[in-house]
Chain A
Amino acid sequence: MATLSNMASAEMTEAGTMVLNMGPQHPSTHGVLRLLLEIDGERVVRMVPDIGYLHTGIEKTCEAKFYQQVVPITDRIDYLCPMTNNLCYVLAIEKLLQLEVPERAQWIRVMLNELTRIASHLVWLGTHALDMGAMSVFLYCFREREDILRIFENVSGQRMMTSYFRIGGLALEPPLDFFDKVRKFAAIFPERIDEYENLLTSNRIWVERTKGVATLSAEDCISLGVTGPPLRASGVDWDLRRDMPYSGYEKFKFKVPTSTAGDVYARYMLRVAELRESIGMVKQALEGLPSGPIKTEDAPKVVLPDREKMKTQMEALIYHFKIVTEGFAVPAGEVYQAVESPRGEMGYYAVSDGTAKPYRVHMRSPSYANLQALEKMCVGRLLADVVAAIGSIDIVLGEIDR
């Protein structure tokens, strides 16, 4: 894992610099990221990220499961945006099967994905501000995140590991009061964003800590594989939801915020703007939600039948039994499906050999690539800016290590 690990912590090197170990149990590394820093006084000379502390072999585990059994594993990759990972996986498998998903399911998927984006950005905002010494923002952000988690619990039975999407649609029709809850949240949330902004946007300490810090140019971003808000904050106008739409995103109206400053402050402003766009899309999804089935009905060998049909129809019972006990075979082939996760391009590469278990599932996680840009952001800057830089790329170690 490490390359500087043989150097003892806080040891002077020949050049008069010091090697400092930061993490893996450091509160501002957001999980178990370990950084080996070579510092000259307060300035960072070199940085080596050391990852793998959360490696659980998810890609290997997927190869031993039926296609439908992989869905709950995808939640655990990124615990801040379970729905995004569910969506990306089911879209990849639906592409392998060339399965059409009913409109209603697509719209509910989009609505839940945008709520997930809001929840994820709220955790980012709260913890990022906390790292920089603004304690109270955290409490406000988690208040609204709690509302979203309650909505998730209402719809899927789980607050965090939702596993609500299925190959071919959704697990269940949402409960009756679900839409009211979302509507209520969508009504109050815009003014809550103003509250966060009141605390930070023109706060002099916040501006001093973030403006001009950890800058990245557009060229750096593209050559280092950076995606998501850091890419857009550096002036590249690219959002998969608009540019390569999936799951019906082409039917939604939204702006893709961009900035050219490329610093921590720009990434902050950009994510706050994304919060406003996301809540707008949730409202659009509520207003325009089509009626109809929530799962594909012409693929009985792939999609589980309704409970009622299963208990009254022989055919449905047989299909149910077969899917549960022996899965369903997926025609051989390989696909790559990417979605715009709150952190950037989340991609699933699925290879089928024609059996009921995936031959290979690979996750292209945005944080993994974004982490490569950390050294570029931090070298030559103060040690305190490292904390700001880590927060600004919004890494999730579960997703990096998989």
Chain B
Amino acid sequence: MSNTAGRIEPAISDIDQLKDHPAMARLLSWKAEAVTGAKFDRNELTITVDRAFIRDACSILKAEFNFLSDVTAVDWLPAEPRFQVTYHLLSHSLKERVRLRVMLNGDNANVESIISVWPAANFFEREVHDLFGIRFIGHPNMARILMPDDWEGHPLRKDYPVEGYR
């Protein structure tokens, strides 16, 4: 039994149907194998990018989606790939957003830093590193930012308890 108001349009996850969106068009014409999936849900476009191409994909998109709003992550434990790193890009000219995501395995949780594309990623990537334990390769200062330097563990992982001792 659905517990909500309903009326949610089904998500579109067919790349062919979404290829006209400016961000998709740009990525597909650059390198189609970089896009491993896409989803249009609740009026928001999410593009899954292969981990090897995330930095380049960002610099390709930067021409249109000029502003990096946010970088964060989600822990999908016990699923594999376990981590989803989420990038929210904003286009001032199109007045539109696009979400990029990269899926990472739990035993190899690292991805290339996009700090060379947007220096704004500096604090965001440090926060993801601090709270999820995901490493960003090429980040100049991959240190904790919110938790104390000597803290053990990464609080936003799902195997980290909300209260009590570990």
B4 touches which of A95, A236, A329 (Cβ 8 Å) = A329
Among B3, B5, B74, B92, the residue within 8 A (CB) of A360 is B74
Cβ of A1 and Cβ of B119 under 8 Å apart? no
**Residue A175 is within 8 A (CB to CB) of chain B in the complex:** no
User: Bound state CA distance, A330 and B2, in angstroms?
Assistant: 9
| Chain A-chain B contacts (Cβ-Cβ < 8 Å), number | 131
Contact B5 A97 (CB under 8 A): yes
Contact among A2, A59, A302, A401 for B5, CB-based, below 8 A: A302
Q: A238-B92, A345-B69 are in contact. Are A223 and B149 (CB under 8 A)?
A: no
CB of B99 within 8 Å of the partner chain: yes
B113-134 contact mask (Cβ, 8 Å, vs A): 1 or 0? 0000011101110010001000
**Which chain B residues in 53-92 approach chain A with CB under 8 Å?**
66-70, 72, 74-75, 86, 88, 92
Contacts of B131 in A (CB 8 A): 59
Given known A-B contacts A99-B5, A243-B95, A299-B5, A333 and B72 have beta carbons under 8 A apart: no
Contact of A97 with B4 in the complex, beta carbons under 8 Å: yes
Are the CB atoms of B123 and A369 closer together than 8 Å? Answer: yes
Expressed in whole angstroms, the Cα–Cα distance for A369 and B71 within the complex equals 11
B123→A349 contact, CB < 8 A:
no
How many residues from B make CB contacts under 8 Å with A? 48
Residue of A nearest to B117 (CB): A223
Main secondary structure of the interface of B (DSSP, over half): loop
Smallest Cβ distance from A142 to chain B, in angstroms? 31
- Provide the bound-state CA to CA distance between A401 and B155, in Å: 14
Question: Please, how many angstroms separate the alpha-carbon atoms of A169 and B148 in the complex?
Answer: 39
A57 is contacted by which of B7, B42, B127, B155 (Cβ under 8 Å)?
Answer: B155
Contact (Cβ within 8 A) B42 A52: no
B86, closest chain A residue (CB): A349
Whether the pair B42, A351 counts as a contact (CB closer than 8 A) is: no
Nearest chain B CB to A274 CB, angstrom units: 19
- The residue of chain B having its C-beta at the shortest distance from the C-beta of A353 within the complex is B76
For A54, the closest partner residue in chain B by CB is: B146
Q: How far is the CA of A98 from the CA of B97 in the complex (A)?
A: 18
- A2: nearest chain-B partner, CB-CB: B149
Verify B123–A364 contact, CB threshold 8 A.
Answer: no
Cα of A61 to Cα of B160 in the assembled complex, Å: 12
